[in-house]
Structure 1
């Protein structure tokens, strides 16, 4: 396990991973200000989405949100660095602001220290991203995830710097596929359970992972009405009905890390748990 992560888990019942940083008003998701806000909201892990321009530069952005955030009809991954650098964000009120899309290098340099960085949606770029990351010497902070696909795992397995890795697993068979790679720094699993009948909602499956000395990452984020990442236990249920209808169940299932859009509220609940122990 990463030293920073181990120290944090020694002091907390679980870690809080903040989805795209904390955005509201004039502070926009997946930007340095949003990550500052997440840190101030007691984040332990910043979840950061990555794209690569057609000329090879890395930016922090979740593609598919171009119309909403940039007023663009084209996917940002089809743009050059000059084109991306010319764009201005729309804030949460839909107003054009002067803030530009952040380059990954600026985010890494800004948050060098003791905050953990989950660089997400980066797997299709690992051929050039992994060497790019090496120059920052931040392997104690960086956590990578990906779907279980051999092309991604082959790159990770062959890369000399062993970044911490957690596969995104939906079926138990995927665990064995990952474990077949001997040179991957496997520290845990992000488990997806679309319903209470899903394999990774079952206590015995979760316990089996923990017995391998691996951590469990569970998503409490609520993307929309149709997508369920951990049955119907999520941020919405936790806020509207009460933590016992969401976060409490996720914690009882054994989550070491919970991804959320509401870090301050989840931290309030975490502090309440700590005060009763």
Structure 2
């Protein structure tokens, strides 16, 4: 079966992403929003807190109820967040609506698991009172197994340029769904090998704007500066993860948030900037944002010194 003709679009799928990169260089991606104090992760409040903390992109996880409704939640975190042992994806939407985030629920202010589409709609430019050019980007994660039903639902939000879709490059079925879908969404495959990178970026039926690279050590082929330079030469951006997950496995060569907090931001995040990484996902967006400003200030000061030295 041939792929349907894509719907006409006003601009290219990666336009907003390219604009942010041109404005800021390395972008700060807030992992599940910013959940501090009375704010729960993967909620509208967490998304707004992330933007207020200096994030350029908000990552939101997707979980689908047993009856096909979409929620903003990372399944597997039920015991920690909701106090239950049942996986959210095995519950009906009505059961999920009755749940509360146990650590932040308050009398008169229930902390519910939020419907995904409602959360995303709250991040549209009109809802935030900003221009389309200033609209935030949203990294939609863990959604790929439901793209056949989720993508049509996302179409109804009319915010395709804001949404960055991801899926493991090794999974063929989500890629087939994305190829056949009528609306072009910016796509970043999650790659664990150079072979995966080279195969997916050549796909003419995907709107590949960049790649997410996973590397378990500094000697991993995906941590090679030459590869990142090659991707940049092709007009593609590179995303890596600095957050530290419960399992503790290094997500990108051991350059992570814990190293930044323990040994200083230059030790933890500096190597990512040195490599030319374009998007860094973190649990500490305000600190990474501050470090980016420091790096930019030093670069500007260095450029000024060089300019003075060469000026006749």
TM-score norm. by structure 1 comes to: 0.95
Q: Is residue 151 of structure 2 the alignment partner of residue 130 of structure 1?
A: yes
Q: Is residue 280 of structure 2 the alignment partner of residue 268 of structure 1?
A: no
Partner SS, residue 166 of structure 1: strand
In structure 2, the residue matched to 1:162 is: 184
TM-score norm. by structure 2 comes to: 0.85
Contact 1:193 1:228 in 2 (8 A): yes
Which of 91, 113, 116 is the matching residue for 1:79? 91
Q: Is residue 227 of structure 2 the alignment partner of residue 215 of structure 1?
A: no
In structure 1, the residue matched to 2:310 is: none
Render the CA deviation track for 1:126-184: whole Å, top value 9, x for unaligned: 01011110111101101000101111111111111010000011101102331353211
In structure 2, the residue matched to 1:200 is: 222
Q: Is residue 204 of structure 2 the alignment partner of residue 182 of structure 1?
A: yes
In structure 2, the residue matched to 1:111 is: 123
Distance 2:155 2:192 in 1: 30
Where structure 1 has 5 or more consecutive residues not aligned to the other structure, the ranges are none
Where structure 2 has 5 or more consecutive residues not aligned to the other structure, the ranges are 1-12, 126-134, 301-312
4+ runs deviating over 6 angstroms: 94-97
196 and 95 in structure 1: CA distance in 2 versus 1, 3 angstrom threshold: farther
Contact 2:228 2:277 in 1 (8 A): no
Which of 236, 256, 259 is the matching residue for 1:234? 256
CA RMSD of aligned residues (A): 1.6
Distance 1:58 1:208 in 2: 37
Distance 1:185 1:220 in 2: 25
> How far is 1:95 from its partner?
8.3
Distance 1:237 1:15 in 2: 19
Distance 1:115 1:205 in 2: 28
In structure 2, the residue matched to 1:34 is: 46
Distance 2:148 2:295 in 1: 42
Distance 1:180 1:256 in 2: 20
Which of 95, 98, 102 is the matching residue for 1:90? 102
Contact 1:153 1:178 in 2 (8 A): no
Which of 152, 160, 168 is the matching residue for 1:147? 168
Number of residue pairs matched by the alignment: 276
